[in-house]
Structure 1
């Protein structure tokens, strides 16, 4: 894989580029000093093999996860993240820009050379390998269970995001911490990715010890993996102890363009991702519902394409607003899904109304609703709570893969509003850049 080859062949420069704490050496321009150039690559392999270096690697892994998930203001035309691109694949956003790679996601007519998907793919793998390297290097210093726990959860979430949004066939190569030869990964099926995530989260929960925040992060990640495996009751049991006010955020910052919240940049600043309303017939009415969980404004000017009326999301209303990776609200939603799958409408109603009351929302009445209708009512509520956090594409795929619903009944379908049709493909493709891996097979499904 091209990204991992960079880790192997030029590891220190990669870390320099990806860590959050980037320090550049100033160059003094004068007749006497113009040729006295200080090497800016100050994060060397030797400096990484230290306790301070481990914190640098940890920060780099978290930074790469933020860019992979939220995107950033850095890069030519900014960088898209998994959240907005998967929102296009699902029903959260409609594309109001001109980049063909993003329109591919909006219609689900993806190519394996899609540059945006390749960037997301690379950033997720960089976050994962940075976390794995942090864990490996900790062994040289007697270990640090809490740092290990957090990094194990980050690895687990990388597996989850690949399983939920990409097709089966993703390889997970490893760049040894000592700079040895790259170990090429074998392609994993979706089920194998979810199972691997469960193993990582089990380790994270064990190492968290009495640190409730890290334990809850691991529990939620494991539960999310179990949902993908169709083990709904087990998922609910895993999060029973997670309090409703828990949250673990992907942090964003105005400190640098790379750290800015890319959702805000791509929507409010660049007007390329417009909050949808009944997308493709099956999409939820995120605007018409006038729900405080999906705040928006706009509809009076065009998006970046100068054709599409633009509707701006307001959930992320600045470049420093964090994005929840895991939360206690999600824990309660997992419990509600278990009740819905058991056709227990009263429990589903009770859970949702308790959450709604905390936000001043009116009560739901689910009496007389059962079967698929109950599941869809729950998934609708879940979509509003978790809007634009990277859950919706995985949720729609679960309705198809676990609950056996027809894709044409839950995904945007039929005529596309800019011409053509929505494609029946439901997943990101393994990008062609992975063909550097001799084990590459593309998509298994």
Structure 2
């Protein structure tokens, strides 16, 4: 069986013919958003209550004062979910390109910054900053910082509103508080995994461990609230999210406890729709429709049934064989945010860290041998071999689900291709292991150093 180590040596791209190709007035600030995004709410909820609202000009934005009242709580909750789902799909695409799940297949410097791991914190090529769920770049070049920061702010702001509204005026108040905290937790979690640092609400510059602690706090709130409400979906989503953050903080035993409580078969999906561009599954769009990216050669030849690809029988303009991933075969395909298989692999990681080799192997095999996968069980008592298998399982099981960049940090994996390797279209691969805080944050936030 191919191990993750083999991937770490694959630096070249091969085409079908055998050739190798180797502080100002214009500031943007999440805390200054005066509106909630409603285009997502329409797609998520389909509520008739929105009909009159979306009949006006520029229906994607409605002034906050009109909406921020208890009677619109369900609409605002749908907006929180929708903003996260849009950000999440873009995040999965961006992480895929940065970590060689995807490789760059066409022209366009915004994509190249991800694939080359050479991030510009400002300017036209700073797609991770510039792209949002509302700009024309959506569906072409994914964003990370602004999209997730918006989702984070929406969730936290909705929580603030709920806490000021009388419970009698919002019957679903406690349930909404739990769900909003869960989505805020995931926004914090993903920012912690991707960014070198971040800042929230004109606050101090925070490093990933500090961001993970904020995620844990949000998940604590979500878990307590979901338990009180009997909301199993939010409860288990938050348990998996908290376990993921705790492992990144080195708190494996606590993470194991959370992951052990997730029931078999559980999955919490982000939902998508072809109703509008911002509601589409971005991973499908950038691979199938625009063909900006294609699965990297390692995954094209991996031979594991969990990595499902279709050969298109032709090359991209850059001479790279085009394959379509079929995990998300349509623009409406859901993307898992949290699922039981991820929980099992975190159990394996925690058991391995605790020296329980048998427990780690059992958790790995729970994933490998489950119905529908039916792979032969893995057998070993070697800590090194179990670690290698765990990394492999995460690569294939969680393929294109937004985990690979966090794994590079958590397991201190080498970058592939190595820094300074010649880049196929000129220049060299960079050594960025995380995405830098954008200049717009440094310039406009007085609590963040300028460099």
- Fold shared by both chains (TM-score > 0.5): yes
Specify the TM-score bucket, using the shorter chain as the normaliser.
0.7 to 0.9
With 310-319 and 106-115 compared, the bigger mean Cα shift is at 106-115
Q: 1:437 aligns with which of 414, 420, 445?
A: 445
Paired residues, what number?
Answer: 395
Query: 1:148, 1:395 → 2: CA distance?
Result: 30
Aligned residue number for residue 399 of structure 2: 387
| CA apart distance, 1:24 | 8.1
Aligned residue number for residue 186 of structure 1: 204
| CA apart distance, 1:382 | 1.4
Aligned residue number for residue 380 of structure 2: 367
| CA apart distance, 1:323 | 0.5
Q: 1:53 aligns with which of 63, 72, 80?
A: 72
C-alpha spacing 1:366/1:441, structure 2 compared with 1 (3 Å): farther
Matched, 1:117 2:128: yes
| CA apart distance, 1:107 | 1.5
1:43-442 matches, within 5 Å, as 43-70=62-89, 81-113=90-122, 114-118=125-129, 119=131, 120-139=144-163, 140-142=165-167, 144-168=173-197, 170-173=198-201, 184-208=202-226, 209=228, 210-278=230-298, 286-298=299-311, 300-303=313-316, 305-358=317-370, 359-371=372-384, 373-400=385-412, 407-408=413-414, 411-413=416-418, 415-416=421-422, 418=424, 419-434=426-441, 435-441=443-449
Query: 2:59, 2:180 → 1: CA distance?
Result: 28
SS of structure 2 residue aligned to 1:127: helix
Return 5+ residue gaps in structure 2 as ranges. 1-22, 44-49, 132-143
| CA apart distance, 1:440 | 2.8
Query: 1:442, 1:23 → 2: CA distance?
Result: 45
| CA apart distance, 1:290 | 2.2
Residue-by-residue CA offset, 1:201-240 (whole Å, 9 max, x unaligned): 1111111122221111111111111011111222111121
SS of structure 2 residue aligned to 1:387: coil
Residue-by-residue CA offset, 1:262-313 (whole Å, 9 max, x unaligned): 10000011111111133xxxxxxx221222211001252123x443221221
| CA apart distance, 1:122 | 1.2
Query: 2:323, 2:60 → 1: CA distance?
Result: 43
Residue-by-residue CA offset, 1:398-431 (whole Å, 9 max, x unaligned): 011xxxxxx43x6432535515433221011111
SS of structure 1 residue aligned to 2:294: strand
SS of structure 2 residue aligned to 1:239: helix
SS of structure 2 residue aligned to 1:301: strand
SS of structure 1 residue aligned to 2:338: strand
Query: Does the 8 Å contact 1:248/1:324 carry over to 2?
Result: yes
Query: 1:424, 1:317 → 2: CA distance?
Result: 33
Residue-by-residue CA offset, 1:17-45 (whole Å, 9 max, x unaligned): 66546768899xxxxxxxxx979688343
Query: Does the 8 Å contact 2:369/2:377 carry over to 1?
Result: no
Query: Does the 8 Å contact 2:84/2:151 carry over to 1?
Result: yes
Query: Does the 8 Å contact 2:348/2:363 carry over to 1?
Result: yes
C-alpha spacing 1:171/1:6, structure 2 compared with 1 (3 Å): closer
SS of structure 2 residue aligned to 1:310: strand
Query: 1:423, 1:26 → 2: CA distance?
Result: 45
TM-score of the aligned structures, taking structure 2 as reference length: 0.81
Query: 1:3, 1:214 → 2: CA distance?
Result: 35
Cα RMSD (Å): 2.6
| CA apart distance, 1:352 | 2.0
